[in-house]
Amino acid sequence: QPDVVVLDIRLHGKDSGPKIADEIQTRGWPTRILVYSAHDAPEAVEAMLNKGALGYYVKDGRNTVKDMLTAVRTVARGERWFGNGLEAWMASRLRAEEEEVTPYQVDILQMVAEGKTNKEIALVFDVDPRTVESHLYRICKKIGANNRTHAVVMAMEKGWIKLQKG
């Protein structure tokens, strides 16, 4: 499997990019996804991010080989990358996400406190382990934790989660 796959939303006139992204997630491949598409509507970007894409690069007259290489290398490291006008939109989206920890994320922290791995948590929620990893990363950013263990300790201190006896 490749480290990174570069997808367009529409391949050969069909909406096959999202289907390929779904297949990558379903198979549990560690392949990271960079979308390179002319479709820059927020719904299109959001849909591909929800399917596991780490980066989104809009096709337009400003595209350079250097930027594409930067995008691929950034996504290959597991980091997010957005180009050609999406940076401001993504920054506002991330700020909104950072406002509060969701009940879903609290459930993830509870499972971490119970000793479950990302893979085990992913099986419970029927998502890719990288999705769990992404949520844990966001949780740590939101609450200022250094790692998943620190996030669990902070969640316990805030009363969000409790240790299960047994």
pLDDT digits (tens, 9 = 90+) for 28-81: 888 999 999 888 787 888 888 888 898 888 888 777 899 899 999 999 998 888
| Rounded to 5°, angle at Cα 28 from 96 and 117 | 70
Query: What's the whole-number mean pLDDT along residues 93-99?
Result: 60
Which pair of structure tokens corresponds to residue 12? 């050969």
Query: What's the whole-number mean pLDDT along residues 150-165?
Result: 87
Confidence check: pLDDT of 114 > 70: yes
CA atoms within 13 A on the CB side of 90: 18
Q: 2.160.20.10, 3.40.50.2300, 3.30.390.10, 1.20.58.110: which CATH number matches 4-97?
A: 3.40.50.2300
Could you tell me if 72 and 4 are in contact, meaning their C-beta atoms sit under 8 angstroms apart?
yes
pTM of the model: 0.55
Could you tell me if 139 and 110 are in contact, meaning their C-beta atoms sit under 8 angstroms apart?
no
Domain boundaries, the chain: 4-97, 103-157
CATH code linked to domain 103-157: 1.10.10.10
**Structure confidence at residue 76 (pLDDT):** 93
